[in-house]
C-alpha cells in the first residue's frame, strides 16, 4: 500500500500543475494577441496627400502623398486600403487630406483614419 501512495502523489501533482499551466496560458495568449499589432506591426504613421480616386466598394483610395519620414517613404502616388467605418463618400478627388497609416502583419499599409486637412 505504501508504494501506491508514492506513485499516486506525483500523478496528482502533475495533474494539478498541468491544469494550472493551462489556466495560466489562456490570459497570456489573449494578451499576446492584443499586443501583436502594436509590437510586431501596427505603428501609426502620419501622412498628408491629395485624393485622386475613391473606391467606396473596395474601401480604397488613391492618394498622391507627401514624403513620410517615419517610414522613409518618398512622395508618391499609391493605393491604400481604408479600414474601419470611414466616411469615404465624403472624400473628393483633388481634396487635400491627412491620414493615419498603420502597418498590418503582412506588411501592408492601411489607412486607419483619414480626414480633410484643416488649415
Contact string (CB under 5 A) for Cu ion, positions 41-80, x = contact: -----------------------------------x-x--
- To Cu ion, the closest distance from the beta carbon of 69 in angstroms equals 13
- To Cu ion, the closest distance from the beta carbon of 41 in angstroms equals 17
Q: Which of 87, 88, 80, 86 is nearest to 104 (CA)?
A: 80
Q: Contact between 32 and Cu ion (CB under 5 A)?
A: no
> In which region does residue 94 sit, left (phi positive, over 0), alpha (psi from -120 to 50) or beta (all else)?
left
Contacts with Cu ion: how many residues (CB under 5 A)?
2
Cell digits of residue 30: 489573449
Dihedral sign (CA 10, 15, 21, 24)? negative
Q: What is the contact surface with Cu ion in residues (CB under 5 A)?
A: 76, 78
Amino acid at each position: 500500500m505504501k508504494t501506491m501512495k508514492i506513485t499516486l502523489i506525483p500523478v496528482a501533482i502533475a495533474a494539478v500543475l498541468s491544469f494550472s499551466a493551462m489556466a495560466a496560458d489562456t490570459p497570456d495568449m489573449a494578451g499576446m494577441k492584443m499586443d501583436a499589432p502594436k509590437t510586431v506591426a501596427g505603428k501609426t504613421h502620419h501622412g498628408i496627400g491629395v485624393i485622386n480616386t475613391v473606391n467606396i466598394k473596395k474601401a480604397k483610395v488613391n492618394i498622391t502623398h507627401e514624403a513620410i519620414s517615419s517610414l522613409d517613404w518618398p512622395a508618391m502616388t499609391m493605393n491604400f486600403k481604408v479600414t474601419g467605418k470611414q466616411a469615404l463618400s465624403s472624400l473628393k478627388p483633388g481634396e487635400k487630406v491627412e491620414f493615419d497609416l498603420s502597418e498590418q502583419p503582412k506588411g501592408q499599409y492601411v489607412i486607419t483614419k483619414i480626414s480633410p486637412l484643416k488649415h
